[in-house]
Homo-oligomer: A and B are copies of this chain.
Amino acid sequence: MSILAVGTVALDSIETPFGAEDKVLGGSATYIAFAARYFTPDIRLVGVVGSDFPEEYLTLLRKSGIDLRGLEIDPNGSTFAWAGRYHYDLNERDTLATHLNVLQTFDPIVPEAYRDSRIVCLGNLDPAIQRKVLEQVDEPELVVCDTMNYWIENTPDSLRETLALVDCLIINDAEARELSGEPNLVKAARVIRGMGPHILIIKKGEHGALLFSEDQIFSAPAYPLEDIQDPTGAGDTFAGGFVGYLLHEGTQSPESYKRAVIYGSAMASFSVERFGPRRMVDLTDSEIHARVESFRELSAIPAVTPIYSA
């Protein structure tokens, strides 16, 4: 019952119309792990930080039950740092700075004790780095992967190599269109699934998510939140909730993927309620369950009787 969360561990500088904070604990591996740990006790993290990484963040991650034996602390560098500013409507953001720092020389070493991880969740990283991790694990039941426009545009061949090894790709709608060259998302999904991932999840932010698996399409709503503080990490939190729930349920089927998409959506809807990962450290089971039930109420279609033309 183990999940390997791979990705960045970052210090974020975030500006939204509702506030600004520096050196916020962030990164894809962080958000994946924070969400997944509500579903299983065995969350393993592979990533790298620099000598400037605050001890209190290491403590917070450990206290959350996240296994940090795979987190390299590079004494000669600084932690990956990202700075971004969200627009008024929170649907768009400008990246103000990206300092790769220790990520530039990151050569992931997966601890021996992690080789048997059942689900591997690859946060957004250089596709070559993602493959290096996959080479160091035995046969996981599921490999889930995120990527972004940068890799689609700059390392398309390497990305293809990684996609061939992936069971489930999670990307947003713009990335799906760019990766496939198809504006129509149904056609785009077919093209992308032809590259390897038999499951595709297209995230649409405030519009929810689409799941393509076998011959089914599932449309998940977004939770209509009135107060969004900070969308940072929502996509990674989604991925963490998705893999966490799947491992918890212990089965893989079109039905369990649908449920997992709802759990992922629920976890993401919590994450955006506060700055950084703050909301993710103290959720309760009943809060999570109530939010999942809200998704059901939000999208349930009451029974209909057939109409007959006049």
Which residues of A does B touch, CB under 8 Å? 37-42, 65, 88-90, 177, 183-187, 204, 206-208, 210, 216-222, 224-226, 228, 245, 248, 255-256, 258-259, 262-263, 284-285, 288-289, 292, 295-302, 304, 306-310
Contacts and interface: CB of A to CB of B under 8 A. Distances in A.
Nearest to A206: B185
A279 to B, nearest CB: 15
B226 A217 contact: no
Given A210-B224, A217-B298, A259-B302, A307 B177 contact: no
Contact of A310 (B41, B255, B262): B41
Contact of A262 (B65, B245, B304): B304
A307 B248 contact: yes
Kindly report how many copies of this chain are found in the complex they form together: 2
25 contacts: A38-B307, A38-B309, A39-B309, A39-B310, A40-B310, A42-B310, A184-B226, A184-B228, A185-B206, A185-B224, A186-B225, A186-B226, A207-B207, A219-B298, A248-B307, A258-B301, A259-B301, A259-B302, A263-B304, A263-B307, A284-B309, A285-B307, A285-B308, A295-B301, A299-B299
Contacts of A289: 306-307
A301 B300 CA distance: 8
Given A38-B310, A302-B258, A89 B224 contact: no
Contacts of A38: 307, 309-310
Contact of A207 (B187, B204, B298): B204
Nearest to A204: B207
A304 B259 contact: yes
Given A304-B262, A307-B245, A221 B224 contact: no
A210 B220 CA distance: 13
A207 B298 CA distance: 15
A224 B217 contact: yes
Contacts of A40: 310
